[in-house]
Amino acid sequence: FTLRYYQREAADATMAALSRRKNPVVTLPTGSGKSATAAEIVFRVISQSPQGARIVVVAPSRELVQQDEAALLRYFQPEHVGVVCASLNRREGDRQILVGTPQSLAGTIDFDPAVVVVDEAHLMPLHKKSWFARLFAGLPRRRRTPRAGLTATSFRTADGAIFGPGGWFNYQAYEISARELIARGYLAPMRYIEPAALMTVEGVAVTAGDFNQGQLVTANIDRVAAQVELILKAMEGRDRAMIFAVTVEHARAFQQAFADNGERCELIIGDMSANDRTAAVDAFKSRQSRIAVTVAAALTGFDVPEIDLIASCRPTKSAIIHTQSIGRGTRVAKGKSDCIVLDFAGNVRRFGPIISPNFDASGQSRLSTAPWRPCPSCGTFAREEAWTCQHCGERLRGRAPREKAPLEITPINFRRAAKAVEKLVRQQGLCHHVVHDFALEGHEKRDHPGSFSVRLKFDLGGHAIVYQWEKDLTSDRWARIWWAFCGDDPAPHSFEEAFGRRHELVRPLVVSIERDGPFWRVVSLRHRERAAA
pLDDT confidence tier of residue 74, bands split at 50, 70 and 90:
very high
How remote is the C-alpha of 188 from its chain's centroid? 17
Residue 397's pLDDT is what? 79
Candidate from 6-15, 40-49, 66-75, 460-469 with smallest mean pLDDT: 460-469
Residue 434's pLDDT is what? 83
Burial letters 482-506, b for 16+ CB under 10 A, else e: bebbbbeeebbeebbebbbebbbbb
Inter-residue contact 49 to 173 (CB < 8 Å) = no
pLDDT confidence tier of residue 97, bands split at 50, 70 and 90:
very high
Candidate from 66-70, 171-175, 365-369 with smallest mean pLDDT: 365-369
235 vs 505, higher pLDDT = 235
- The CATH architecture of the domain made up of 5-176 is 3-Layer(aba) Sandwich (3.40)
pLDDT confidence tier of residue 400, bands split at 50, 70 and 90:
very low
The DSSP 8-state label assigned to residue 177 in this structure reads -
Residue 402's pLDDT is what? 35
Domain residue ranges in the chain? 5-176, 187-383, 420-526
In order, the DSSP letters of 480-528 are HHHHHTTPPSSPP-SHHHHHHTGGG----SEEEEEEETTEEEEEEEE-H
Query: Distance (Å, rounded) from C-alpha 505 to C-alpha 492?
Result: 12
Residue 154's pLDDT is what? 82
Residue 277 has pLDDT above 80, yes or no: yes
Residue 362's pLDDT is what? 61
Instruction: Quick: pLDDT tens for 316-359.
Output: 988 889 998 999 999 999 999 999 999 999 999 999 999 888 77
Residue 213's pLDDT is what? 94
pTM attached to this predicted model: 0.73
Instruction: Quick: pLDDT tens for 404-459.
Output: 344 455 667 778 888 989 999 999 999 988 887 787 887 776 666 656 788 888 88
Residue 93 has pLDDT above 90, yes or no: yes
489 vs 305, higher pLDDT = 305
Residue 512 has pLDDT above 60, yes or no: yes
Compute the half-sphere exposure of residue 76: CA atoms within 13 Å on the CB side of its CA.
27
> Percent of the chain, pLDDT > 70?
89
Residue 525 has pLDDT above 90, yes or no: no
187-383 to CATH, choices 3.40.50.300, 3.90.850.10, 3.40.50.620, 3.20.20.70: 3.40.50.300
Three-class DSSP category at 143: helix
Query: Distance (Å, rounded) from C-alpha 214 to C-alpha 249?
Result: 9
391 vs 128, higher pLDDT = 391
> Percent of the chain, pLDDT > 90?
57
Same fold? 5-176, 187-383: yes
Least Cα distance to 300 among 26, 23, 30, 481 occurs for 30
Instruction: Quick: pLDDT tens for 132-166.
Output: 999 999 999 999 999 999 999 887 765 667 887 67
Query: Distance (Å, rounded) from C-alpha 426 to C-alpha 406?
Result: 38
The DSSP 8-state label assigned to residue 365 in this structure reads B
Inter-residue contact 452 to 510 (CB < 8 Å) = no
Residue 531's pLDDT is what? 31
Instruction: Quick: pLDDT tens for 38-70.
Output: 999 999 999 999 988 999 999 998 889 999 999
Tallying the residues shown for the chain, one arrives at 533
Query: Distance (Å, rounded) from C-alpha 152 to C-alpha 174?
Result: 11
pLDDT confidence tier of residue 533, bands split at 50, 70 and 90:
very low
Residue 130 has pLDDT above 60, yes or no: yes
Residue 207 has pLDDT above 50, yes or no: yes
Inter-residue contact 303 to 272 (CB < 8 Å) = no
Q: How many helices (H) and strands (E) does the chain have?
A: 16, 26
Query: Distance (Å, rounded) from C-alpha 123 to C-alpha 143?
Result: 17
Query: Distance (Å, rounded) from C-alpha 488 to C-alpha 502?
Result: 10
Rounded to an integer, the average pLDDT of 226-247 is 97
Residue 528 has pLDDT above 80, yes or no: no
Q: Where are the alpha helices (DSSP H) in 358-475?
A: 414-428
Single-letter residue type at 480 = R
Mean pLDDT of the chain: 88
Distances (CA, A) of 317 to 212, 320, 362, 385, 483: 11, 9, 14, 25, 28
